[in-house]
Amino acid sequence: MHLLAIESSCDETAAAVVERVSDEARPWVLRSNVVASQTAIHREWGGVVPELASRQHVRDIPGVVREAMAQAAIGWPQVDALAVTQGPGLVGSLLVGIAFAKSAAWALGRPLFAVHHLAGHIESLWLEHGRLALPAVVLVVSGGHTNLYLVARDGEYQLLGRTRDDAAGEAYDKVAKLLGLGYPGGPVIDRLAAEGDPLAIRWPGTRLTNRDRNAPERDGRFDFSFSGLKTAVLRHVRLRQEALGTARLPDHEVRDIAASFQRRVVETLTDRLFLAARWTGARSIGIAGGVSANRQLREAAQARGAALEVPVYVPRLALSTDNAAMIAAAGLRQFERGRLAPADLNASASLALV
Ligand code: KG4
Ligand code: ZN
């Protein structure tokens, strides 16, 4: 069976076709994965402008869906089911994908499955690598989220930890903006960090208590925090700008700041991830979401996984940043459980993952 999925939660309009086959170990086969990125539009503003994003989704979605079906060599009669991101995300952006998917499902008389965006990021690992050994610990790290999940059974996600303030990708984007490196910040800092000295700057440490003041009932030992680091970088940059009498720091200083910032982010992410893996007795580890594209994070996690003899999985680049293939995978989980979306499905900007 072919499932057509649509993703439009932020600034990427995406459609993909995934086929479900009768191979137990790898039941999902990717047939197409098309993404129209709006980065060039939002770069001018230093971040995503919601109204511009919604309007661009409206323009792009018919062509993106057509292309995904053409690449998968299927027509509408071969679409057996649809899936769409319900949330979380920008509500105006989500609504474009949902309206399109609901209309198509109704016109075709096919079932529609509603997907949580982060379930998509998690399932990208299963789509890419086949069945993972369970229990698995999965870090979803993107521009909007830094969450740690335990997957004890296929398709079931238990939140172990999350950021108490900024997401890791958000910290990358803000630091890049501060350094005048443009948007999105992750890829540029990743590149510059490779040429800088990661020990050049020693940032003050972040102390997190296990208790989360906003949710005291949660065990917060696997939580993250990045706003302190972001402020430390800001303070350092301002001091250097004052000392040098110019807003533009020399290239070697920018490279050192990038490398030192990245070292701290990677350390924080991998420390919590492996603490959780040991605590849960994980038999596999996954990292998904836009920041999982980071080369140093991949290398550090692979090295620590090898030392612990636990395999570490990361999706390829096209499946780690926002895409609809991952939404198709999570949609197939809903299909397998018979959880159809209601006809009055609506967008939910802060949808919880259960
Ligand atoms: O998952 P994603 O495409 O969108 C969200 O759901 O947020 O993630 C985008 C985020 C951005 O913050 C971007 O700066 C970051 O992923 N990112 C990276 C890298 N590539 C993208 N961060 C660090 N290193 C990278 N190579
Ligand atoms: Zn995402």
Which domains are delineated in the chain? Answer: 2-121+320-336 (3.30.420.40), 134-310 (3.30.420.40)
CA–CA separation, 127 and 24 (whole Å): 12
pLDDT of 214 reads: 72
Evaluate: CB of 118 within 6 angstroms of ligand 1: no
Evaluate: CB of 293 within 6 angstroms of ligand 1: yes
Q: How far is CA 275 from CA 52, 280, 289, in A?
A: 41, 9, 20
Average pLDDT across each block of 10 residues of the chain; the chain has 354 residues. List them in order.
97 96 94 94 86 95 98 98 97 98 98 98 97 97 95 96 96 95 93 98 80 72 95 97 95 98 98 96 97 97 96 96 97 96 95 87
pLDDT of 336 reads: 93
Amino acid letter, 326: M
pLDDT of 212 reads: 72
pLDDT of 205 reads: 78
CA–CA separation, 214 and 200 (whole Å): 35
pLDDT of 206 reads: 72
CB 41 within 8 A of CB 60: no
Give the list of residues 6+ apart from residue 217 with CB closer than 8 angstroms, or none: none
Omega cis (within 30) before 342: no
CB 142 within 8 A of CB 291: yes
Atom of ligand 1 nearest to the CA of 172: 14
For residue 259, give the nearest of 193, 174, 334 by alpha carbon: 193
pLDDT of 146 reads: 97
* Cα angle for residues 212, 213, 215 (degrees, 5° grid): 65
CA–CA separation, 17 and 155 (whole Å): 20
Mutate to test the pocket of ligand 1, among 321, 327, 351, 353 (most ligand atoms within 8 A of CB): 321
Give the list of residues 6+ apart from residue 40 with CB closer than 8 angstroms, or none: none
Which residue's alpha carbon is nearest to atom 19 within ligand 1? 186
Distance of CA 11 from the midpoint of ligand 2 (Å) = 10
216, 220, 224, 227: CA torsion to nearest 10? 30
CB 273 within 8 A of CB 148: yes
